[in-house]
Amino acid sequence: MVVRSTSGPVVLEMERVRVWTAGGAELLRELSWVVRAGEHWALLGPNGAGKSTLLSVAGAVRHPSSGRVSVLGCTLGRVDVRELRADVGMVAPSLRLPDAMTVEEVVLTGVTGSILPARAAYTDTERARARSLMELLGCAALAGRTVARCSQGERQRVRIARALMASPPLLLLDEPTAALDLPARETLLASLNLLAASRPALATVLVAHQLEDLPPSTTHALLLRKGELVAAGPAEEVLTSGPLSACFGMEVRVRRDEDRWVARSARAAPAAAPAPA
């Protein structure tokens, strides 16, 4: 069941945000958006829609060219973004995990934010938190295993556990199911569902290409097309055939399969060739 959160404190707010490149190409156009504590947003759109750009602004990695952005109550341009980024959990497949480190060592680096160990020793409290997060994300049994021996799905769960070590109020996930096979994807989505249930105040934003890549905990969705907002709001209103058809520029049919979404093209399949006489 999708649970709405409409009264929690604001953790991310964008007002008429525009982003353009040095060459003048506009990546985001007049985009306004509010994310509150306890909400779990899906961010979807075709390739080149501006999803990665939007996520980088939300994570204080990139400043808007115009407009106002507030992350965890701090306005970009008026705050030390290095300190702000430490309070935002960012999970991206591009983050390289050192092959020789163990899973537990990698998760513990989330204390400082450096991917390499920055301390000679960690406290008992920090180690206990790392074990708790690994248990929650289903990778506790991997604690002593080196990264080199972990599958892509296992590495993604390790990245999420690491990002949560600093107890961020906001967690940003950039295509967490990319390149995962079916069992790894389903395990990861189940972990995200457990995370949402165990951290009721945590807000998340998850970039995905497919509706099938969204966990059941998804409460809201934002659709982008060519840098422009197509729709944003409760998932049961936005993840429907009309908005998604407008977003992807083709007729799409959406259905719910228990607590998950499934999307298919509405174009008729070609007629079967007649059977030989």
Q: What is the pLDDT of residue 95?
A: 84
User: Tens digit of pLDDT for each residue in 183-234?
Assistant: 999 999 999 999 999 999 999 999 998 999 999 999 999 999 999 999 999 9
Tokens (6 digits) for 198: 């165990």
pTM for the whole structure: 0.89
CATH numbers and ranges of domains, the chain: 1-87+168-264 (3.40.50.300), 96-167 (no CATH)
Closest CA to 200 of 1, 87, 36: 36
Q: What is the pLDDT of residue 120?
A: 66
Q: What is the pLDDT of residue 132?
A: 95
Q: What is the pLDDT of residue 2?
A: 40
Give dist(CA 183, CA 171) in Å, integer: 23
Contact 40, 217 (CB under 8 A): yes
Q: What is the pLDDT of residue 266?
A: 79
Task: Give the chain's residues under pLDDT 50.
Answer: 1-5, 269
Contact 142, 155 (CB under 8 A): no
Q: What is the pLDDT of residue 4?
A: 46
Q: What is the pLDDT of residue 55?
A: 95
Give dist(CA 62, CA 158) in Å, integer: 25
